[in-house]
Amino acid sequence: MLTPLLVSMLTDQALITIVVAIAVVLVVGTTGLVVARRRRAELPSATQPPSVEGGSTEVAEPQVGDDAEEPRDTPTRTLEDTELPEPTTPTIEKPESAQGRLVRLRARLARSQGSLGKGLLALLSRDKLDEEAWEDIETTLITADVGVAPTQELVEKLRTRMRVEGVGAQQAREILREELIALVNPALDRSLKVTRKEAQPAVVLVVGVNGTGKTTTVGRLARVLVAEDKHVVLGAADTFRAAAADQLQTWGERVGARTVRGPEGGDPASIAFDSVKEGIAEEADVVLVDTAGRLHTKTGLMDELGKVKRVIEKSAEVDEVLLVIDATTGQNGLTQARVFAEVIDVTGLVLTKLDGTAKGGIVIAVQRELGVPVKLVGLGEGADDLAPFDAEQFVDALLD
């Protein structure tokens, strides 16, 4: 209690402050007590001691190591029946093998080249094969990019045979079929040199102008080879187009083939060399080297191609140089072929986008031009739309 002396020493204001403080302490203390009591009253019955079998209400105190939670009424899963999440690693595809690919794609070839075959057949089946009819036949062949010399040769043969043997549409079809097959030349060796030699993988170099389908061809060829159980290494020597190495790597990953790549804008010859070295170390069957698209008119770039090949040859023989030609480019494709063949020994031709042109005659023209066989044809944008070329199947598709 405040003594009268102390009270007299305090000012009025200080006195009021002390009284208010005491009142606040009393109010807060009382409220706390009331709330605590209410909470306890509201606690659910589960927190009450559970009744134990036998009627005893005594509760065992939890010990160290006891479960913190109440036991569940469902059995605990074992390791065996626990479902693991799906693995996220990409699944390796098993591509379609080369056999029968052209058969599968024949309808597509027939669709694009149908007008050439059917046009020729309609003209040859006329009752009267006069000069005008023969001129129309020539025009049809030249329009389809067969080329002037092969066209004249074919027309000459057809004229002779039709005069001697030709009676009726069926006969005309048979004669045309035989002469077209002879023109495409079934005797040419169209096999790909992709067999591993003693201690070395086969090396395939893929070349051509921009956008003809080189990277797509390398990717699809890798699929064909993997389907034949070959171990393939890809070399991304197209350091010119930024996305080319990624594009190639994606193709490789789909079939489990490793891609050797270097820095963007790096030296293509050194990447080609590294990929072959890697192929030797991995004991691969085939190394497929993709190169940058280069305009045949740019001398520097064309010389670079020769260098790429020479550098590879320091460690392995180059077994195939495949020149990729876009079939839709017609006569320009022929010019490209000529220039490439001057700087590098082309061993095989790949005609892409045959599905996108009615001018399948380019097959005949370009083979004649280079004396090199068409080995593969591209008939669509799909992963398995690359097929080994076959003279008879090609001609049959034209005449379907």
Ligand X SMILES: Nc1nc2c(ncn2[C@@H]2O[C@H](COP(=O)(O)OP(=O)(O)OP(=O)(O)O)[C@@H](O)[C@H]2O)c(=O)[nH]1
* 360 binds ligand X per the rule CB under 6 A: no
Residues that bind ligand X (rule: CB under 6 A) add up to a total of 21
Q: For residue 214, say whether it is annotated as part of any ligand binding site.
A: yes
* 328 binds ligand X per the rule CB under 6 A: no
Q: For residue 353, say whether it is annotated as part of any ligand binding site.
A: yes
CB 350 within 8 A of CB 325: yes
Q: For residue 292, say whether it is annotated as part of any ligand binding site.
A: yes
The pair of structure tokens assigned to 218 is: 């390398």
The pair of structure tokens assigned to 153 is: 């040769």
Minimum distance of ligand X from residue 142's CB (angstroms): 24
Q: Which listed residue (266, 330, 380, 388) binds ligand X by CB under 6 A?
A: 380
Minimum distance of ligand X from residue 156's CB (angstroms): 33
Instruction: Give whole-number Cα distances, 176 to 57, 165, 203, 355, 396, in Å.
Output: 105, 12, 39, 22, 10
Q: For residue 213, say whether it is annotated as part of any ligand binding site.
A: yes
Q: Which listed residue (352, 367, 375, 387) binds ligand X by CB under 6 A?
A: 352
Q: Which is nearer to ligand X, 151 or 249 (CB)?
A: 249
Minimum distance of ligand X from residue 122's CB (angstroms): 28
The pair of structure tokens assigned to 127 is: 């009752």
DSSP state letters, 159-172: HHHHHHT--SHHHH
Q: Which listed residue (303, 342, 381, 392) binds ligand X by CB under 6 A?
A: 381
The pair of structure tokens assigned to 111 is: 């669709």
What is the contact mask toward ligand X in residues 179 to 218, using x (rule: CB under 6 A)?
-----------------------------x-xxxxxxx--
Pairing mode, strands 374-378 and 386-388: antiparallel
Q: Which is nearer to ligand X, 175 or 248 (CB)?
A: 248
Minimum distance of ligand X from residue 177's CB (angstroms): 25
CA-based radius of gyration for the chain: 41
Q: What's the rounded Cα separation, in Å, for the pair 95 and 387?
A: 13
Buried b / exposed e along 258-292 (16+ C-beta atoms within 10 A): bbbbbeeeebbbebbbbbbbbbbeeebbbbbbbbb
User: Footprint of ligand X on residues 108-147 (CB under 6 A)?
Assistant: none
User: Footprint of ligand X on residues 67-96 (CB under 6 A)?
Assistant: none
Residue ranges of E strands in 262-319: 286-291
Q: Which is nearer to ligand X, 172 or 324 (CB)?
A: 324
Q: What's the rounded Cα separation, in Å, for the pair 289 and 246?
A: 14
Q: What's the rounded Cα separation, in Å, for the pair 278 and 258?
A: 10
* 222 binds ligand X per the rule CB under 6 A: no
Strand order in the sheet with 232-237: 258-260, 232-237, 286-291, 202-207, 320-326, 348-352, 374-378, 386-388
CB 202 within 8 A of CB 320: yes
* 297 binds ligand X per the rule CB under 6 A: no
Residue recorded with tokens 């190591």 = 65
* 266 binds ligand X per the rule CB under 6 A: no
Q: Which listed residue (230, 261, 353, 375) binds ligand X by CB under 6 A?
A: 353
* 31 binds ligand X per the rule CB under 6 A: no
Q: For residue 354, say whether it is annotated as part of any ligand binding site.
A: yes
User: Footprint of ligand X on residues 224-263 (CB under 6 A)?
Assistant: 238, 241, 244
Longest dimension (CA), the chain: 152
Q: Which residues bind ligand X (CB under 6 A)?
A: 208, 210-216, 238, 241, 244, 293, 352-353, 355-356, 378-381, 385
Q: Binding-site residues, please?
A: 208-215, 290-294, 352-355
Binding residue ranges for GTP:
208-215, 290-294, 352-355
